[in-house]
Homo-oligomer: A and B are copies of this chain.
Amino acid sequence: MSDAESPIPGATVARLVDYLAVLTRLADAGVSKVSSNELAEAAGANPAQLRKDLSHLGSYGTRGVGYDVSYLQIQLDQHLGAGLDLPVVIVGVGNLGRALVNHTGFSSRGFKVVGLVDADPALTGEQVEGLTIVGDAGLETLIARTGATIAVITTPAEVAQQVTDRLVASGIIGILNFAPTALSVPSNVTVRKVDLGSELQILAYHCRVPGSKDSLLSAWNEQSNELAGADPL
């Protein structure tokens, strides 16, 4: 079903991306068929959910058999709009920014970093992975020249909003925000936030609580309680 204009649930999209990654790996490994069980396990999902997810795009499997790996891969590619080599600019060339320039996960999924911007004059002109870092003032020109529509922000939180405003004014419509601050943008612009500190903190919370009693993490709490002013929980 579902050939109308993509009403794909947001949560499903996130998983489709994972399925696609697994399919690509399987195809490279020469595997030609998968069942929903196998694919779901490899992607860390459950089979019923995978089938439900796929049912939002169409019926690409064969009952009693499974899915043809490369066929399903192509279908997901199309639905997700992958394989385009979309140009991306990175604003903020600190440690994280530099790590992302080299990140293989970007290129392997159809993105190409085409520009780097950093406000620090000491960095202007420096070469990173074949790209020349552009100064603050060059942001607008860079975007116009490269035709980038997606930007990654890895600046300090304090300047993230101003950078955002200039990106949006320059035609950027998608922002991946690593700065630990909320960004306000017009409704036609999409922001996705990734806060690495938050991720760790959320993880730590889930370690503390769900393990029925206190989970092993409380071992550390007790250990550090010797000279702790506050008590946990």
Contact = CB atoms under 8 A, between A and B. Distances in A.
Contacts of A206: 10, 13, 174, 190, 192
A190 B171 CA distance: 40
A140 interface: no
Given A220-B84, A220-B87, A108 B196 contact: no
Interface stretch (A62-70, A93-101, A116-124): A93-101
B196 A210 contact: no
Interface residues of A, number: 89
A133 interface: no
A78 B221 CA distance: 12
Copies in the complex: 2
Nearest to A131: B233
A100 B188 CA distance: 32
Given A146-B232, A173-B217, A220-B149, A201 B103 contact: no
Interface string A23-60: 00000000000000000011110000000000000000
Nearest to A74: B230
10 contacts: A17-B202, A44-B193, A84-B232, A85-B232, A87-B220, A87-B233, A88-B200, A105-B180, A147-B223, A188-B215
Given A82-B204, A106-B197, 5 more contacts: A21-B180, A41-B182, A85-B224, A114-B232, A192-B199
Interface of A: 6, 8, 10, 13-14, 17-18, 21, 41-44, 77-88, 94-96, 98-100, 102-103, 105-106, 108-112, 114, 145-150, 152, 171, 173-176, 180, 182-183, 188, 190, 192-211, 215-217, 219-221, 223-224, 230-233
